[in-house]
Amino acid sequence: MDEFKESILTSKAVMGRTQYQTTVSGLNHTILVDEPADKGGTDTGMDPFSLLLASLGSCTAITLRMYIERKMWVVDEITVDLEMFKTGNGTLIERKLQFKGELKQEQIDRLVDIADKCPIHKILEGNIKIDTSVI
């Protein structure tokens, strides 16, 4: 029996003969992903791990900004610093938030909770299955 699935997004990655340089497209936008020169790449774009962190960081900032605007709080800037670590149990991502604005401690505490509600955070912590086939 097939489980229910609903397509929510598509993306395409294409690599030619340039060592590791990959063109990724989705939603009418294109970016370059690559490996650093010391790993044999041409260093023309973020490496895949940095791209993963960028996805989490940008989603976190967007989620926080949406919440802040809804609450009409005064926040001029949101910074999300991320660092990824290999651990004995797998992978750890540390996320540090910084706000420039007029916030009380209870508001900051609430924003820490809201950061965990970012859709990319939920995907990364959730049950992910990847099916691979050749077309």
Q: What pLDDT score does 57 carry?
A: 97
Report the alpha-carbon angle 47-56-73, nearest 5. Answer: 140
Per residue in 67-116, pLDDT tens?
A: 999 999 999 999 999 999 999 999 999 999 999 999 999 999 999 999 99
Q: Two tokens at 29?
A: 């936008």
CA distance 35 to 121: 24
The CATH number of residue 135's host domain is 3.30.300.20
Residue whose token pair is 């023309």: 44
Which backbone phi and psi does 86 adopt, to 5 degrees?
-85, 135
Same domain for 82 and 20: no
Per residue in 21-46, pLDDT tens?
A: 999 999 999 999 999 999 999 999 99
Give the mean pLDDT of 37-59.
Answer: 96
* Cα–chain center distance at 13: 17
Residue range(s) defining the domain that contains residue 129: 47-135
Same domain for 21 and 31: yes
Q: Is 34 in contact with 44 (CB distance < 8 Å)?
A: yes
Same domain for 68 and 6: no
Q: What pLDDT score does 71 carry?
A: 98
pLDDT above 60 for 1: no
Task: State the pTM of this model.
Answer: 0.89
CA distance 93 to 19: 28
CA distance 14 to 111: 38
